[in-house]
C-alpha cells in the first residue's frame, strides 16, 4: 500500500513536472515567472530561511580529493507546508549566485502556497555564490583538479542528496517532490526525478 502510494506520488510528480517543462523549449510558458524587480523584504523574504548542507565535493569517485566536503546553501519556506503528506517544491538555481531574495523573486510561493501547501526549497548550484568548495572561489577555479568537480552531474547529485536528506529529517519519505528551474537548471530536472525515484 505504501509502495503503491509512493509510486503514485512519483508518477504524479513526474506528470506535473512534465506539464511544466518539456524538452521542446516550452519553458517560456512556465507558470513560474522571475520577478527580477521584486521589492526587498517582502513578507515571503521574511519567511525565507537560509540553510546549509554538507556535500562531498565528489559524489562518484574514491580519489583522495573526493572526500573533501563543502557547505552547500539552500533556502526554505516552510510556513505553508501541510506536513509529510504534502509535496516539496524544489527550485534549482542555475549558473549564478542564489539571490538573498530568492524566495520572493520567483512567483513559485505566490502561485502554489495555498493550492498545494508545499514545502519550498531553493538550491544553489555548486561553484556559485556561497556554495563554493575548496575554501574560496580562487582556489575552486585554480586548476583542473579543483575544477574537475564542477559539472551538471555533480550538481544534480547534490540536489538529489539534499532533498533525500531533507525528506528523511522531516520524516516525509513519501512527499512528492516537484522540481522546477529554467533553462540549464530546468534541463537537469528529469535526471533529478530519476535519481529521486530509482527503478526498483
Ligand atoms: C589545485 O589547487 C588546489 C587549491 O588551491 C591545491 O590544493 C592543489 O595543490 C592544486 N593542484 C595542482 C595539481 O596544482
Ligand atoms: C538533516 O539533518 C542532519 C543531522 O542534523 C544535518 O546534518 C543535515 O544537514 C540535514 N539535512 C538537510 C538537508 O538540511
- Residue 16 above 90 pLDDT? no
- Does the beta carbon of 51 sit less than 6 angstroms from any atom of ligand 2? yes
| pLDDT interval class at 24 (50, 70, 90) | very low
Q: What pLDDT shows up at residue 41?
A: 46
Q: What pLDDT shows up at residue 28?
A: 31
- Does the beta carbon of 170 sit less than 6 angstroms from any atom of ligand 2? no
**What's the rounded Cα separation, in Å, for the pair 18 and 6?**
18
Convert the pLDDT of each residue in 115-160 to its tens digit.
999 999 999 999 999 999 999 999 999 999 999 999 999 999 999 9
The 8-class DSSP code of residue 126 comes to T
Q: Quick one: 49-192 is in which CATH superfamily?
A: Alpha/Beta hydrolase fold, catalytic domain (3.40.50.1820)
Closest CA to 91 of 65, 63, 71, 121: 121
Q: Which of 51, 53, 122 to mutate to test the pocket of ligand 2 (most atoms within 8 A of CB)?
A: 53
Q: What pLDDT shows up at residue 10?
A: 41
| pLDDT interval class at 196 (50, 70, 90) | confident
Closest CA to 76 of 124, 139, 35: 124
- Residue 176 above 60 pLDDT? yes
Q: Which ligand is nearest to the CA of 171?
A: 2
Cα 200 to ligand 2 centre (Å): 26
Q: Where are the domains of the chain?
A: 49-192
Alpha helices in the chain (DSSP H): 2-20, 43-47, 102-105, 108-116, 137-140, 144-147, 152-169, 183-187, 189-196
Higher-confidence residue of 2 and 175: namely 175
| pLDDT interval class at 180 (50, 70, 90) | confident
**What's the rounded Cα separation, in Å, for the pair 58 and 51?**
21
128: number of Cβ within 10 Å: 18
145: number of Cβ within 10 Å: 11
Convert the pLDDT of each residue in 56-81 to its tens digit.
999 999 888 788 999 999 999 999 99
Backbone angles phi, psi at 128, to 5 degrees: -125, 155
Protein residue with least CA distance to atom 13, ligand 2: 166
Q: Is 120 helix (H, G, I), strand (E, B) or coil?
A: strand
Protein residue with least CA distance to atom 4, ligand 2: 169
- Give the least confident one: 11-25, 79-93, 97-111: 11-25
* Ligand 2 atom closest to Cα of residue 163: 13
Q: What percent of the chain has pLDDT over 90?
A: 56
Cα 142 to ligand 1 centre (Å): 7
Q: Which of 74, 165, 173 to mutate to test the pocket of ligand 2 (most atoms within 8 A of CB)?
A: 165
* Ligand 2 atom closest to Cα of residue 166: 13
Chain centroid to Cα 22, Å, comes to 18
**What's the rounded Cα separation, in Å, for the pair 92 and 159?**
8
Backbone angles phi, psi at 123, to 5 degrees: -115, 120
Q: In this structure, what is the dihedral angle of CA atoms 85, 13, 112, 21, given to the nearest 10 degrees?
A: 170
| pLDDT interval class at 45 (50, 70, 90) | low
In the structure grid, which three cell numbers stand for residue 100, read together? 538573498
Higher-confidence residue of 54 and 47: namely 54
Q: Which of 57, 63, 142 to mutate to test the pocket of ligand 1 (most atoms within 8 A of CB)?
A: 142
Distance in Å from the first CA to the final CA of the chain = 16
* Ligand 1 atom closest to Cα of residue 139: 5
Q: What pLDDT shows up at residue 171?
A: 96
In the structure grid, which three cell numbers stand for residue 45, read together? 523574504
Higher-confidence residue of 185 and 114: namely 114
Amino acid at each position: 500500500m505504501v509502495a503503491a502510494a509512493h509510486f503514485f506520488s512519483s508518477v504524479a510528480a513526474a506528470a506535473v513536472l512534465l506539464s511544466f517543462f518539456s524538452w521542446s523549449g516550452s519553458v517560456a510558458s512556465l507558470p513560474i515567472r522571475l520577478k527580477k524587480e521584486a521589492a526587498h523584504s517582502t513578507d515571503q523574504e521574511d519567511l525565507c530561511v537560509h540553510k546549509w548542507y554538507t556535500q562531498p565535493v565528489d559524489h562518484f569517485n574514491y580519489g583522495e580529493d573526493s572526500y573533501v566536503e563543502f557547505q552547500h546553501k539552500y533556502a526554505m519556506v516552510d510556513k505553508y507546508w501541510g506536513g509529510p503528506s504534502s509535496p516539496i517544491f524544489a527550485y534549482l538555481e542555475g549558473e549564478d549566485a542564489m539571490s538573498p531574495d530568492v524566495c520572493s523573486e520567483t512567483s513559485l510561493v505566490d502561485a502554489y502556497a495555498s493550492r498545494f501547501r508545499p514545502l519550498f526549497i531553493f538550491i544553489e548550484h555548486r561553484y556559485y555564490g556561497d556554495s563554493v568548495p575548496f575554501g574560496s572561489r580562487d582556489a575552486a577555479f585554480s586548476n583542473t583538479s579543483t575544477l574537475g568537480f564542477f559539472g551538471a552531474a555533480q550538481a544534480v547529485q547534490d540536489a538529489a542528496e539534499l532533498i533525500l536528506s531533507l525528506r528523511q529529517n522531516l520524516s516525509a519519505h513519501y512527499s512528492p517532490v516537484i522540481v522546477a528551474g529554467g533553462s540549464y537548471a530546468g534541463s537537469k530536472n528529469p535526471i533529478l526525478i530519476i535519481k529521486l525515484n530509482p527503478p526498483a
